[in-house]
Structure 1
Amino acid sequence: MPPFIASLQREWQRLRACRWDWAMVSWVPLLSMALMCWIFSAGQPYKLPIAVWNEDHSSMSRQLVRMLQATPGLEVVHSVLNPAEAADALQRMQVYGVVHIPPGMERDVKRGGAATVTLMHNAQLATASSLLQRDLQQVVGTLSAGAEMQARAKRGDPHQALQVRMEPITTKLVALFNVSTNYEQFLAATLVPALVHILAMTAGVWCVGRELRDRSLGAWLQASSSGLDTLAALLGKLAIPAALLWGSGMLCLLYLAQLRGWHVAGSMGWIAVGLAALVGVSLAAGAVLAAVTLSLRTALSGAGLLSAPAFAFSGVGFPLLSMSASARGWALAMPYTHYARLQMEQWQMGAPVAQTVPVVGGLLLATLVLLALATWGLQRARTLPERWGGR
C-alpha cells in the first residue's frame, strides 16, 4: 500500500479510536468559531454605561444629560455627587466613564465665557474609551454650537450667516472600507482564521508528537524506506486535520459572508485558497516542532508561543507600521500576518487577485520548506529510538 494511503488510514483509525483527538479537529473548532461569531454578532458596542457628576443643576446641564442619554452609544446609569463616588464607580467597573459638569456652566456660557465638561474614563479599556470620547465630543459640540447660535441670534446676527461663521472650515470624512465600522466585519472575520492557525499548528504537533510519545514512530514509518516515502506518510497523517480545520474555517467565513450579509468585495475563492495555504503552513510548522524537538510537551509549548500572539502582531489590532522595527520583523515572519492582509484585501477592499498572489505563493513556499524540515526530522528520529516515549 502506498505510504500516503497507509498513513491516512492509520490516522483515521486513531482519530476514531480517541474521541478527544477527533473532537479537537472536528466539533471543538466549530464550537470555538461559533462562539467567536456570537461574541461579535452585535456588530457595534451600544449603551456603554456612564455616570454623570452634575454640579450645575441648571436647565442647560439637564439638557446635556438628556442628550447623553439619547445618544445610542451611551447610557447614563448613575448620578454621583462627589469625586469619591466617581472614583468608586470607575474602580468597580460599574461604568466606563464619568462626565463632570462644572458648577456655573450655564451662567458662564450666557455671559459669553467658557465652560469645560470633563470626561474621566478608563483608558486601559481602549475601545470603550475611544467610543466614549467620540460620543461625548459630538454631544458637547452640538450643545455648544446650539448655545452659541442662539446667543448670536439674540444679538441680531443674520440666521443665514450663522452656520458659516460658526464653522467656516468643515471636515469631510470618507470611509472606503467597513463604512459602518462594524466589529463583526473586521474582528470576527479575522479572528476565525487566527483560531484556525492556532488549532492547525497544535494539530500538527499532536499528530507527530503522539507517535513519539506512544513509541509508535517505527510502526508508523516502517514502510517508508526513503525521504519521499516519509514525506508521503507525513502528508497522509496531516490530510484529515487539514481538511477538517479548513472546512470549519470556511464554514464560518461563509456564514459571515452569506447569512450575516457581509458582502465580499473581492474573491471568496481566493480567500479559500489563502486559508488552505495558512492551514498547510501551520500544520507543517507544528510537525517540524515535534520532529525536531522529539518532545510532545516542548513542541506544544513552542506552538503556543508562535501561534497564540499571531493575531496581536498581524496589524489588525495594533497598526503594523507603528510597531518597532524588531516587532514588525517578527510580525512579518508570522504566516498569519500575510494571510490577514490577503483576507482584508479580498473581503473588504476588492483588491485585484494579482495583488495577493505573492502572499499565497509565499505561504506555499514556506509550507514546502517546513515539510522538508519535518521529513528530515522524522528520518533522524527513526535512528534515535531511545528518544521515543518522552513527554
Structure 2
Amino acid sequence: MHNNLIYLTDHRGKVDATQLSDIEWARLVADNRDSTRRRLVKCAWCWDEDDVTHWMKTYSRNNGARVISHQPGESADHPYQALESDEHKAYCDRVERVGVAEGFRARREARADDGRTRSDVLLVGARHVSYEMQHSPFKQGYGAKERTRRSLAAKRDAVAWHTDSSIIADGARVAMLRSNPARLPQIENPRYQLRILGGYRKVLVWDCTVREGHRCPKGRYAGCGATHVDAQPSAITLDDFIRQAPAGLVLPVQPLDRLGFWTTTQDYEIWVDHFGEASRPGGSGAEPRRQSEQQADGHSRRTAAKDHAPVVPQQRTDRPQAVTNIPDELIKLERSAEDARGKLVGLDGEAYAGQWKAWRTAAEEFQAAVTEYAARRDVSMSRPEVEQAAKKAVRHPEPDS
C-alpha cells in the first residue's frame, strides 16, 4: 500500500493504515466517503515534510486491496513507510546526539534528490553514513537490500543497519548490526551501554599449522601450511560505532550480503587485499563462507591418516620479514596505542570519552607511520604485512632465546 501513513482527525492521530483491522478499515471507508468535505483523513507525509494538508480518498479494490490516494492533481503517491515507534525515535535521537557531540553533521529523515531514498539519520563527516533502525519485519519489495542499493546509488558511502531483534537480523539479507534488546528508558539513558552483539567482526590472519591453534578450513587436522584469513565476532558499543563510522575508522565488508560485517579500517584493508574487490561496498561477488560452514567432521581412514600427518610450511618470499626488521619507532607507536586502549577498561562517562580520544589519536599516529614506512622503495612488504608484523611484535613477543 502506498500512502499508508495518515493522520486521523478523530483524535486517533498518526496511524499506519495497513495495521487497521478489516472492521476498522471498512468503518473508515464509510466515514470518509466524501473525503474533502468530511476532512477525516489527511496525508501524514505531506503534513510532516511540507506542512501541507491533503485530504485523502480511501476505498477498496475489487480484489480487496486497500487504497489511499490523493485528490486528482494534488500530489504523487508516496512509497510505503513504517510508522515510527517510541523506541525507534529514541534510537534515532541517541544516534543524532552522539554524532553531533563528536562533531559530525546529523540530519533526520534525510532524503536524496529522488525523494524515495531516505535515512533515519544521515551522519556526515569524512564519509556519509546512513543510519537505519529496523524494529519491524521488512515489507515485500521494500527490504533492506533494495533500500541499501538505492542509498548507495544516492551517494551515501555506507548504510549502517541496526536492530535489536535476532529474527530481523537473520532475515535482513544485508550486513546488519545487532545490539542487546533495550527498553525505552535504557535507550534514552546516555550512560547505558548498548553493546553490539553481531555484525561487527575482527579479521584474523594465520599460518595454518598446529602451533597456531586454529582449525584448518580445508579439514586438515595437522594444518595445510597455507595462510588463511577469516573473521570472528568482536566487541563495540553503538555509541562508539557512531563516533567512528562517519570518520571512516570502521567500514562495511560485503554490505549487500547477509554474512557481511563491519570492521576496522586496517582489518578492512587486509580482507579486501585477500579476497578482492568483491568485498567492497557495491561489489558483485559473494563473500567467502565462514570457517564453521567449511568444516567436515567425517573422514575416511585414509584421509584421516593423511590429515594427521605433520605438514611443514613451505618458505615463502612474499611473507612479512622477521619482526626484528620492523623499525623500533613502529613498535613504540603500536605499544603506545595498545597501552591507551588498555586504559579504557573500567572507565565510564567523560573519563571514557577522554581516554577513547587519546587511544584514537595514538592509533591514527601508528597507522600513518605504517603507511609511510610501507611506501618506501627499500621495503618489500605490503602495508598489511608491515602492520601485522608490528602488532605481532607488541602483542605476541617471541621469548628470549
Higher normalized strand content (fraction of residues): 2
TM range (shorter): under 0.3
Higher normalized helix content (fraction of residues): 1
TM-score (norm 2): 0.22
Larger radius of gyration: 1
Higher relative contact order (CA 8 A, sep 6+): 1
